[in-house]
Structure 1
Amino acid sequence: MFEFFKLAHRPLRQWGTALAMAGLVGATTFVPLPAAAAGNQLTDVTFMLDFSAMGRHAPWYVALDKGYFKQAGLNVKIVPGQGTAQSLQALEAGVAQFAFSDPTSLVLGRARGVSSGVFVEMNYQKAPYAVFSLKDGANVTHLSQFKGLTIASSSDSMTPRIIQGLMAQRGMDPSAVKFTNVAGSARPGVLLSGKVPAIETFVFGQVGMERSAKPGNLRTFLLADHGLTLYSDGVLVKQDYLKAHPKIVKAFVSASLKGWHDALSNMDEAARIEQKYVPSLNREVIVGELKLLKKMAVIPVTKEKGLGYIDPARMKESVDFVVKYVGIEGTAPMAKDLYTNEFIPNPPVMP
């Protein structure tokens, strides 16, 4: 039914075997901690990102570099992912103990009975789905302009269904927006050259496009600022691992949120740190992504409850949105079964 799940549930050997055979080492994407000194044993765990390391992933590298994981008794490997669905599959296969993924992928997986992940921290409180256009082009500033709009996307992207879901939720005809297939890496170029009126990609793409667009010409339409109440990426752990190793999970969550606090508080420092592990990244781009990341991570509830907190009402809204507007195969999971705040530090890590 979904191209998304054709990708999400490819046999692990098609994409993950190479990672496993290589000890989960992605070229230039991470540097593991040194072996623990004698008498100071650390627990080895693997954390899989949603994609290759980018500026928005700096908080994890800050936690790694500052020794927060090590102080918590963990030797953490940060490895690249190939999308949120694949990260979820890696978690189920035991390739990683912790994975960065999203509720949409989890709901679809739980409905089909192929996922058992539980969120232990939610990092993107606002969803990063965005539509970009040009001021001297489509100049999209309101959802009503999606009627008749052609947006460059791809068959393996879930964003079109989310866009159409938001339109339906707001009483619009979801078939009124059109999508054309353009590879993700090519989308900024075709937009800036005027070949398409709009593209969809994560809001973090704004940083690179602003560097290439005419000053003031890029228009960013963040769905979360126009009515979309959908959680996005957070840290997932399998249910059985959660039950067997609660102390490890608690240690990971606490250390990672310290990294988030530091990265959002000192972005220049975070950029310098991440560059040590991912030298190919541009420091200005990292800082630019972190500025956007802060807008995704720090909202009223996290100012009150702390970073990573999962709001029950918002999680239910997220699950209901996926079930009603994205569509599932199988039995809809209960929102309460998809998360726990048990491992959020007390006192919380404030932004």
Structure 2
Amino acid sequence: MHLTRRLFSLAAAGAMSLAAFGGAGVGAAMADTNIKFTLDWKFEGPAAGFLLAVDNGHFAAEGLNVTIDTGAGSRESIPRVATGAYEMGFGDINALIKFLDEDTSQKVKAVMMIYDKPPFAVIGRTAQGITEDPKSLEGKKLGAPPPDAAFGQWPAFVQVAGIDTSNITIENVGFPVREPMLAQGAVDAIFGFSFSSVLNLKAQGIPADDIVTILMADHGLELYGNAIMVNEDFAAANPDAVKGFLKALAKGFADAVADPEAGVAAVMSRNEILTKEIEVERLGMANSMNIKTPWVEANGFGGIDEAKLANSIELLKVSMDLKGNVTAADVFDASYLPPKEERMLP
């Protein structure tokens, strides 16, 4: 991990130097606002937009020196930002709502939506009796990493999908063994992000026709997914830096949609053990299913429908036992977003 991050820092520094002398202008050379950013997970295909914002000089053009670290789950990134260990980060907005509901004094807020449609899923195998019907999970053993955002929505998903949990066994598993355990038949299905677990199973040698994805959003669970978060003290002191970050990131994600192979090349320069074809497919899945949705095509990347977010908070009262201490306005601040015309994806 430390080697990966060091390679990343070197690559980022090189990219900013090239930008400074290759046309990004004096602003890039004067990059004087440092931002430590935490991802939710490893450097994989869906991280392409973040990394292209570095490599293509978009952050440098805004006068920002951005370093990006990997994460340990889309819930775990939230306290990193709230405590100020990282100025900004990427994490599950539903877990953020729970975090703020428990303590409204926490200094963290979402400022840009990335996954307009969340990739929360239960992924199983036809060989283990799983079908696209959520009720096929009844009587099965499900592997669940406790910090996983998809598993966090299980109580609400059970309710909206009408699943009888009386004979379902939940087994706590670690992220590294989640897909291997399903591949070995030790569990019948697992919780995870659709674009990650499906392709990880393929890499384990499981054929595509033996993999079943039950996407929660397709069975009544209408939520948002991962968003960009900011430490509120940092934002108050550096509002232009936050605005510049989001402007640059919108360009990075547009680059990743326009040229997925370039995006995967950026990812693989930080994580050499990846397989290019798998990551191109993973990025394509994220772009088409979660990022460039019909709503985003009509309204621009990064924003939200306040009514949908408010409704999702009501759903989270079921899945996360909210106390009712937060509203949509307490969780998401759209004031740092660039104009809609600067947030349209190709």
- The letter for the 1-side match of 2:301 is L
Q: Note the C-alpha offset of 1:87.
A: 1.5
SS of the aligned residue for 1:26 comes to helix
CA distance in 2, matches of 1:176, 1:344: 46
CA distance in 2, matches of 1:215, 1:123: 27
C-alpha contact (below 8 Å) 1:28/1:279 kept by paired residues: no
SS of the aligned residue for 2:76 comes to helix
CA distance in 2, matches of 1:193, 1:171: 29
CA distance in 2, matches of 1:145, 1:70: 50
For residue 160 of structure 2, the aligned residue among 153, 162, 169 is 169
Number of the residue aligned with 1:208: 200
CA spacing shift, 1:160–1:305, aligned 2, 3 Å: same
1:266 aligns with 2:259: yes
How do 1:44-63 residues align onto structure 2 when only pairs under 5 Å count? 44-63=34-53
CA distance in 1, matches of 2:75, 2:187: 28
- The letter for the 1-side match of 2:39 is L
1:327 aligns with 2:321: yes
Number of the residue aligned with 2:23: none
SS of the aligned residue for 2:335 comes to coil
1:233 aligns with 2:212: no
Number of the residue aligned with 1:282: 275
Cα deviation digits, residues 187-226 of structure 1 (max 9, x gap): 2222222232212221122112124113422111111222
1:115 aligns with 2:106: yes
- The letter for the 2-side match of 1:195 is A
CA distance in 1, matches of 2:320, 2:44: 27
C-alpha contact (below 8 Å) 2:91/2:227 kept by paired residues: yes
Deviates more, 1:154-163 or 1:245-254: 154-163
Q: Note the C-alpha offset of 1:282.
A: 2.3
Structure 2 residues without counterparts, runs of 5 or longer: 21-25
1:32 aligns with 2:12: yes
For residue 74 of structure 1, the aligned residue among 61, 64, 68 is 64
Structure 1 residues without counterparts, runs of 5 or longer: 1-18
Number of the residue aligned with 1:293: 286
Deviates more, 1:108-117 or 1:60-69: 108-117
C-alpha contact (below 8 Å) 1:29/1:80 kept by paired residues: no
TM-score (norm 2): 0.87
Q: Note the C-alpha offset of 1:52.
A: 2.4
Deviates more, 1:52-61 or 1:113-122: 113-122
CA spacing shift, 1:216–1:175, aligned 2, 3 Å: same
SS of the aligned residue for 2:334 comes to coil
SS of the aligned residue for 1:85 comes to coil
| More helix, by proportion | 2
For residue 172 of structure 2, the aligned residue among 175, 181, 195 is 181
1:133 aligns with 2:113: no
Q: Note the C-alpha offset of 1:151.
A: 0.9
SS of the aligned residue for 1:132 comes to strand
C-alpha contact (below 8 Å) 2:255/2:263 kept by paired residues: yes
1:315 aligns with 2:309: yes
CA distance in 2, matches of 1:275, 1:214: 24
For residue 30 of structure 2, the aligned residue among 41, 56, 60 is 41
CA spacing shift, 1:297–1:158, aligned 2, 3 Å: closer
CA distance in 1, matches of 2:223, 2:167: 22
CA distance in 2, matches of 1:81, 1:276: 17
Deviates more, 1:70-79 or 1:81-90: 81-90
C-alpha contact (below 8 Å) 2:74/2:148 kept by paired residues: no
Q: Note the C-alpha offset of 1:262.
A: 0.9
SS of the aligned residue for 2:68 comes to strand
C-alpha contact (below 8 Å) 1:48/1:78 kept by paired residues: yes
Number of the residue aligned with 1:339: 332
Cα deviation digits, residues 123-176 of structure 1 (max 9, x gap): 011111211222232132112223223211134445334123112134444545
TM-score (norm 1): 0.86
C-alpha contact (below 8 Å) 1:29/1:53 kept by paired residues: no
SS of the aligned residue for 2:111 comes to strand
Cα deviation digits, residues 60-112 of structure 1 (max 9, x gap): 11110000111111111011222233311111222211110112221121122
CA spacing shift, 1:175–1:253, aligned 2, 3 Å: farther
CA distance in 2, matches of 1:313, 1:63: 30
CA distance in 1, matches of 2:129, 2:250: 39
Q: Note the C-alpha offset of 1:317.
A: 2.2
CA distance in 2, matches of 1:324, 1:193: 33
